[in-house]
Amino acid sequence: MKVFSLKSDLISYLGPERSNGMKIGFVPTMGALHEGHLALIRASKKEADCTVCSIFVNPTQFNNRKDFLKYPVSLSEDMDILKIEGCNAVYAPGEDDLYDPPGVNTVKFNFGKVETILEGKYRPEHFNGVALIVTKLFNIVQPHFTYFGQKDLQQYFIVRQLIHDLCYNIQLRLIPTVREKDGLAQSSRNRRIPENVRPEAALFYKSLITGRDMLHKGSTVNETKEYIKDMIEGHPGLQLEYFEVVDTEKFTLTDQINNKNNTALCIAGYINNIRLIDNIMYI
């Protein structure tokens, strides 16, 4: 496995691979790897000839500096894991390889209403930072395929829009959420959940399942939202940020299930000041 910290070296490595007809699969991550990330790597290994993984905790997508500073980092463990998975190349740059000068971020994206709901509403500038880093990485790696997780469903829609609007010739793949036994979506942030409150973290997933059952049995979206709010807030260690039903075709909030195949239930909240998000499809 080749490891690069400079984009110039990665570009020099990938050029000949591409000219030799190798199909490049790209998995962007922020590291602290878990089974969710590995599902993306494995999907790339199946489809592409050369799998590239990036590990970079992108400062511009954190609206909260403390959250950025607390983000788990485990670079050498990540390298070991990627080697075992057969990843071909890892790009783990320092901030100055991608932001020069650091801290300056001039390009602005506008994704319209999608940015004003859910993560966009509660994390202002988040998707601008995501789009900026994804654009930089796509331009450096120039992959044929790229893999994103359903856990960050809104991010997937933003990336899809970006690929469409900027005419990237990249096949985008959505990989299902990998969960712990009790349903908690795997996340790098889970490492920060203290063991004594860990069982309660699964309540975010359980409330998605409860919400979906209620909707299937005929409760309205508003009744379901009220119930889930009470369910989460009944646990003193948990705080609900949002629970919403989303029409995933246009990525808008909805208070009616109009299109069962394109409806998702999305949740975000805190446990011990650690922010978790999750979602499931209506069907």
CB of 60 to ligand AMP, least distance (A): 13
Tell me if 30 sits within 8 A of 64, measured CB to CB: no
Tell me if 146 sits within 8 A of 172, measured CB to CB: yes
Tell me if 145 sits within 8 A of 170, measured CB to CB: yes
CB of 229 to ligand AMP, least distance (A): 24
Pick 26 or 224: Cβ nearer ligand AMP: 26
Residues that bind ligand AMP (CB under 6 A): 29-30, 36-37, 39-40, 148-149, 151-152, 175, 177-178, 185-188
Pick 44 or 177: Cβ nearer ligand AMP: 177
* CA nearest to 142, candidates 1, 266, 278, 19: 19
d(CA 204, CA 44): 29
256: tokens are 């009616």
CB of 175 to ligand AMP, least distance (A): 5
63: tokens are 């609206």
Tell me if 161 sits within 8 A of 148, measured CB to CB: no
d(CA 120, CA 211): 22
CB of 12 to ligand AMP, least distance (A): 25
Q: From the candidates 37, 144, 216, 235, which is the catalytic residue?
A: 37
Pick 29 or 207: Cβ nearer ligand AMP: 29
d(CA 114, CA 91): 30
CB of 134 to ligand AMP, least distance (A): 10
Pick 93 or 221: Cβ nearer ligand AMP: 93
Pick 74 or 142: Cβ nearer ligand AMP: 74
* Cis geometry, peptide bond prior to residue 143 (ω within 30 degrees of 0): no
CB of 177 to ligand AMP, least distance (A): 4
Catalytic residue at 37? Answer: yes
d(CA 8, CA 1): 17
Label residues 16-52 b or e (16+ Cβ within 10 Å = b): ebeeeeebbbbbbbbbbbbebbbbbbbbbbeebebbb
Q: CB-side exposure of 167: number of CA atoms within 13 Å?
A: 0
Pick 72 or 253: Cβ nearer ligand AMP: 72
**Catalytic residue ranges:** 37
